[in-house]
Chain A
Amino acid sequence: MVITAKGKEILEIAEEPEYVMLAKVEDLKMDMLRIVEEEEIKKIRLKTSDEATFEVEPSILKEMKRVQSLINTEAIDTSVAIPLPNITSRNLSRIIDFCWEHQYNTENLEEFKGRFLKSLNHQELKELLLAANYLNIKTLFDFLCNSFTDLIQNESPEFIRDFFNILNDTNSVKSMHAPAFQGSIDDD
């Protein structure tokens, strides 16, 4: 493959002064990106934690910065499916849906986002947020973070605890470090 050939070039120029090398490596990286972009026909396969394999278009793949960097830097053999052990097939299909709509649905994007959010319960929302964080998809991550913010804004600490399923450990600690914590309580 072309990528491995370029990889050899990197090895060959390793003896040059550092600044020259850095510049050349940058050039090579750009070359590689271009090559990856040119290989439009070639879909990349991703394997989820429950052993399902997805064929993903390069345009969608571009959103997944983590997978993209795997392909770019490690010269991974793209004929083998890339394993994603943290992501279930259900979440990956949701993610692909979102990325697709975000790219191609310019007219009813807000409407789609509303429907997308409605279809998720709190637990699924959390899982998806972690998946978006893991795959480093900025659009989805920002969208989900904003959704979380909307859901907990103007709510009481009790509601937030329930929402995130958090145990209240403030009382026990408060008695231990009363002066340090008091300030924050009366801020409220």
Chain B
Amino acid sequence: MPTITMFLICFLLSLLLFLIPTKIMKIPCPTLTMLRVRGKQEMVGMEQYLPREVLSNILTRLPVKDLLKCKCVCMSWFDLLTDPHFIANYYAVHNNLQSQEKHLLVIRRPFSSALKTYISVLSWNVNDPKKHVFSYDLNPPCEFNSKHKYWTEILGPCNGLYLLEGNPNVLMNPSLRQFRALPQSHVTSPIGFYFLTDYAGFGFDPKTSDYKVVVIKDLWLKETDERKLGYWTAELFSLNSNSWRKLNAAVPFSTEIRGSSPVYTYVNNCCHWWGFVDESGRKEDVVLAFNMVNESFRKIKVPSLRSSSKDESATLAPFNEYGTIGVIVYPVRGKEKSFDVWLMKDYWDEGSWVKQYSVEPVEAIHKVVGYYGSNQFLWSSSNNGLVWYDCEAELERIKDLEVCGTNGSSRAARYMESLVSLKGRNEFSCQFFHVARLIPNSIDQRESSNFPIC
């Protein structure tokens, strides 16, 4: 019996000895396998996932509507697509990938009886032998469809954002389908006066990473309905704060503004208006500049570029890759128009204005209504059509874009794809466009591409 008990005890002890180490061993075991599994996953991941810079290169080639879908693929893609560096790089690279493809943002009022403004995107390929122009309309949210809502100027592109000047002023990113009305301003006119005309400027302040809109208002005396010449009130809207504030910077005394420029002239962080000063009865052309960073005005002297404002029109435009400003001078009347291009060689030197070149008379151009890029301009024709004119093109200098806007209502700017969002800066809602296939066109039946809503 004792031997049996001894044997049993020995057996139990040996069992324990065997069991304990395995029990001890068993504790690290799961972590080991976990590690191994994780290691394997990482390895698989390395094989399957593309490095961020390679992925970024692929995605930069996609249009914004596809990138919105890509945001939902996985978190790392979402991170990449919302990274400010990617967004900035996308804007700079994507829009210059295919230089033979042209994209235009156009606003126009096709019917003379109504104020309704159509917003459309026109696209064509320079090498297309059939010379088709594809187009689609961007329909603003329905509350903007009233009779009294309209737009007269396009200010942009500024990192892919556009300000539509009109009633009301709106900011939009057409590629993200974002459309946002600016809030009501609270600046009131001095007692006994009222505001009549607004002149807007739009730009990006890199110092505060803010988009700003500046509006200059003229002053009218209530009693006599007379304008108080040379007096202005200016206010500034900041997208980051989503609010207006009154600007204390004074508009240089006695400067008058001739009107909003049909060409977006945002150069060296300054927006510009074409104006004049009254020098003892003689009206001398000047450029009024507003610096979005310093928030200050500047008057830029202009030499005498034209015989008189009655006979010759002048339109401000950016030149030298947005390095400086220039003026296109052309006769008001006449079927054929020649035009001169003047520019400031050095943007910071008033004395550096030179006549850069002259263009021989061109038929079918009537008025400058937009700017595309280096010497490529949009003109309206005498029968209200929209015409593309490229001074440097060897073959097709002039192209009829086959859209029309009554009473000189057409404006055009380069359309650029951008991920810069009007949302997310604060809690304010911002509505979306609907994209429509149709374009009711009073002069022609054109092909319009189907642009699906993603």
Contact = CB atoms under 8 A, between A and B. Distances in A.
Q: Do A and B bind each other?
A: yes
A85 interface: no
Contacts of B58: 145, 148-149
A68 interface: no
B78 A184 contact: yes
B50 A164 contact: yes
Interface in A118-153: 126, 129-130, 133, 141, 145-146, 148-149, 152-153
A141 B424 CA distance: 35
Nearest to A167: B74
Given A149-B61, A170-B78, A157 B50 contact: no
Given A133-B51, A148-B58, A183 B72 contact: no
A1 interface: no
A148 B55 CA distance: 10
A167 B76 CA distance: 11
Contact of A126 (B50, B68, B69, B74): B50
A181 interface: yes
B314 interface: no
B48 A166 contact: yes
B71 A188 contact: yes
Contact of B66 (A130, A153, A165, A184): A153
A156 B69 contact: yes
A157 B51 CA distance: 19
A117 interface: no
Contact of B74 (A129, A146, A152, A168): A168
A160 B78 CA distance: 13
Contact of A188 (B54, B72, B74, B77): B72
A173 interface: yes
B54 A173 contact: no
Interface size class of A (residues with CB under 8 A): 20 to 34
Contact of A145 (B61, B63, B68): B61
Interface string A176-188: 0000010111011
B73 A161 contact: yes
Given A130-B50, A166-B49, A145 B57 contact: yes
Contacts of B424: 183
B454 interface: yes
A187 B82 contact: no
B142 interface: no
A161 B74 contact: yes
A128 B92 CA distance: 27
Contacts of A133: 51, 54
B49 to A, nearest CB: 7
A168 B78 CA distance: 11
Interface in B434-454: 454
Given A183-B423, A187-B176, A188-B72, A153 B50 contact: no
A184 B71 contact: yes
A181 B71 CA distance: 10
B70 interface: yes
Nearest to B66: A153
B74 A184 contact: no
Contacts of A161: 73-74
A129 B48 CA distance: 12
Contacts of A160: 69-70, 73
A173 B75 contact: yes
Q: Pick the 9 closest A-B CB pairs, nearest first.
A: A149-B61, A157-B72, A165-B48, A184-B71, A148-B58, A145-B58, A157-B73, A188-B68, A166-B74
Given A145-B58, A149-B62, A187-B68, 17 more contacts: A129-B50, A129-B54, A133-B51, A133-B54, A145-B54, A145-B61, A146-B61, A149-B58, A153-B62, A154-B66, A161-B73, A164-B50, A183-B421, A184-B72, A184-B78, A184-B82, A188-B68
6 contacts: A133-B51, A152-B66, A153-B63, A168-B74, A169-B74, A183-B424
Interface of B: 48-51, 54, 57-58, 61-63, 66, 68-75, 77-78, 82, 176, 421, 423-424, 454
Interface of A: 126, 129-130, 133, 141, 145-146, 148-149, 152-157, 160-161, 164-170, 173, 181, 183-185, 187-188
